[in-house]
Amino acid sequence: MSTWLLERARTLALAGSPSRRTLVIDFDGVVHDQNDGWRGGEVYGPPIPGAVQELQRRSAGGWSLAIVTARHHDLHDDVARWVEKHTALPTVVCAQRHAYWHGPEILVTNVKPGAVAYVDDNAVRFTLAAGGWTTALAGLPYSPDEVLALGGPA
């Protein structure tokens, strides 16, 4: 287990934080393999290897789970059905903004509640010890218009 992750979980637990029992997990690329590209929001791919078992183990262990997606709210029911079909775990789709999530169901949302950790395939880890803003986005141009001009493999 990651040392920083265990330390974060311990710190939140000792403080009695409402986020101490919650894990937030990105849907596409972490749970759902969108292997054929974007199809207008269609949920069509297989599970990422290991995702189903990990969700089941964490849920059985007492973690509250939130699946976060950038998909429009109108598509959250499709995401929830996919999660239920593949994990056999109950889900809830909620339009409310939750600062925290505590429930036996997997919350499907596009709002990031407080959590011990956020599992995301596109995340950049930010720490002051690793250089903070000096290093967090190093290598990425300040203008998105420059990305293609810089070349490199596509």
Q: What is the CATH number of domain 3-124?
A: 3.40.50.1000
Q: For 105-116, write each residue's pLDDT tens digit.
A: 999 999 999 999
Model confidence, pTM: 0.89
pLDDT, averaged across the chain = 91
- Kindly tell me the burial class for residue 153, based on how many C-beta atoms sit within 10 Å of its own C-beta (0-12, 13-18, 19 or more): exposed
Question: Which two tokens mark 106?
Answer: 């997997």
Q: What is the pLDDT of residue 106?
A: 97
Please determine, for residue 1, whether its predicted confidence score (pLDDT) is greater than 60.
no
Q: What is the pLDDT of residue 56?
A: 98
Please state, in angstroms and as integers, the Cα–Cα distance from residue 57 to each residue in 8, 28, 67, 94, 98, following that order: 20, 20, 15, 23, 24
Domain boundaries, the chain: 3-124
Lookup result for tokens 């990305």 = 147
Q: For 48-101, write each residue's pLDDT tens digit.
A: 999 999 999 999 999 999 999 999 899 999 999 999 999 999 999 987 778 899
